[in-house]
């Protein structure tokens, strides 16, 4: 039977674990706030760029650019944004399942992957995928230079016609409790997306819709050629920021429930321990009483 000492040890160990999970929760919460701020700060550029690009695309009669060229999809590149670490609830398994589902649907086509994040890298490597590149330890603090590297790599592969389409799989941060799993087509560029569906630019919409007859300092095609790669960069950056925020949110929620569970376990153990102690005391009293009776 478990002795009092055993219980005390168990409780102490659970308490230590609880302290760790609580600390992790606070760290995740602080990082989540930072990630959200970064995502917010990146939004104006993406919005203005999308607007400028749309305006130029509508002006050029038949926009021609290697990044707009559509080909039969034979070779597909998939960028998978996963987490860097575990202990984030179902975050990693969800995104990897989504990526797996998507890849399975592309049967008969050649798949090349670019994992971003350690967890995805390990899992995809185990599954035997061919990597065009891998990026690890870049999502804890998202740097624009990394997004630029990734964008430059995929645009180069696409322009060289080594790949016919680029998809990006990531978790879109909706709220602390929910994240959308998104598969987005990055290349060829089919439509210029709004920077963010959550953007509240209702006041500006009227101004944005009016077609303006611009003077172009450089030929439209040349501007288009320079704007499109930037657009890919902002899309990659945005998905990295979203994924990073979603990871921290998932970790925060997971660690919050772990802390609560530890509290429940401590409570149950304490109750049990008290019962055992009570039983021991009762036993001793019975022994003394019956011993006294015997002696009398």
Question: How is the beta sheet containing 165-173 ordered, strand by strand?
Answer: 130-131, 110-116, 75-81, 165-173, 179-187
Query: By CB under 8 A, how many residues form the interface with another protein?
Result: 28
Residue 24 — φ and ψ, nearest 5°?
-65, -35
Q: Which of residues 56-95 bind another protein (CB under 8 A)?
A: 56
Among 24, 113, 237, 273, binds another protein (CB under 8 A): 237
| HSE toward the beta carbon, residue 152, CA cutoff 13 A | 6
Contacting range for another protein; rule: CB under 8 A; set: 123-131, 153-161, 214-222, 276-284: 214-222
Contact between 222 and another protein per CB under 8 A: yes
Contact between 212 and another protein per CB under 8 A: yes
Residue 252 has a CB neighbour count (10 Å cut-off) of: 22
Mapped onto helix, strand or coil, the DSSP state of residue 180 is strand
Among 178, 216, 267, 288, binds another protein (CB under 8 A): 216
Contact between 33 and another protein per CB under 8 A: no
Closest CA to 167 of 239, 92, 248: 239
Contacting range for another protein; rule: CB under 8 A; set: 42-50, 72-80, 244-252, 268-276: 42-50
| Rounded least distance, CB 230 to another protein, Å | 8
Element (H, E) at 171: strand 165-173
Q: Which of residues 129-148 bind another protein (CB under 8 A)?
A: 144, 147
Element (H, E) at 110: strand 110-116
Q: What is the largest CA-CA distance in the chain?
A: 116
Residue 162 — φ and ψ, nearest 5°?
-80, -25
Contacting range for another protein; rule: CB under 8 A; set: 69-77, 132-140, 185-193, 225-233: 225-233
Contact between 217 and another protein per CB under 8 A: yes
Among 3, 218, 257, 278, binds another protein (CB under 8 A): 218
| Whole-number Cα distances in Å, 64 to 61, 168, 187, 188, 216 | 9, 23, 14, 12, 17
Q: Using CB under 8 A as the criterion, which residues of the chain lie in contact with another protein when the complex forms?
A: 38, 41-42, 44-46, 48-49, 52, 55-56, 144, 147, 212-218, 222-223, 226-227, 230, 233-234, 237
């Amino acid at each position: 039977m478990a002795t009092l000492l055993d219980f005390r040890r168990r409780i102490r160990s659970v308490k230590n674990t609880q302290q760790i999970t609580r600390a992790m929760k606070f760290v995740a919460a602080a990082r989540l706030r930072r990630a959200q701020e970064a995502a917010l700060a990146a939004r104006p550029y993406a919005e203005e760029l999308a607007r400028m690009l749309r305006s130029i695309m509508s002006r050029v009669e038949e926009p021609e650019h290697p990044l707009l060229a559509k080909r039969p999809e034979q070779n597909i590149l998939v960028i998978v944004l996963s987490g860097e670490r575990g202990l984030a609830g179902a975050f990693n398994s969800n995104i990897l399942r989504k990526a797996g589902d998507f890849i399975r649907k592309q049967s008969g086509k050649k798949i090349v992957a670019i994992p971003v994040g350690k967890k995805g890298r390990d899992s995809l490597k185990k599954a035997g995928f061919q990597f065009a590149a891998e990026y690890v330890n870049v999502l804890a603090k998202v740097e624009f230079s990394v997004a630029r590297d990734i964008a430059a790599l995929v645009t180069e592969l696409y322009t060289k016609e080594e790949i016919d389409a680029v998809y990006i799989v990531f978790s879109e941060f909706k709220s602390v409790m929910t994240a959308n799993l998104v598969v987005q087509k990055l290349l060829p560029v089919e439509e210029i997306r709004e920077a963010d569906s959550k953007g509240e630019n209702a006041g500006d919409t009227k101004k944005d819709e009016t077609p303006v007859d611009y003077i172009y300092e450089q030929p439209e095609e040349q501007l288009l050629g320079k704007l499109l790669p930037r657009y890919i960069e902002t899309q990659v950056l945005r998905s990295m920021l979203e994924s990073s925020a979603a990871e921290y949110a998932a970790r925060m929620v997971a660690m919050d429930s772990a802390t609560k569970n530890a509290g429940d376990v401590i409570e149950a153990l304490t109750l049990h321990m008290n019962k055992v102690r009570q039983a021991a005391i009762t036993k001793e009293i019975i022994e003394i009483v019956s011993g006294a009776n015997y002696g009398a």
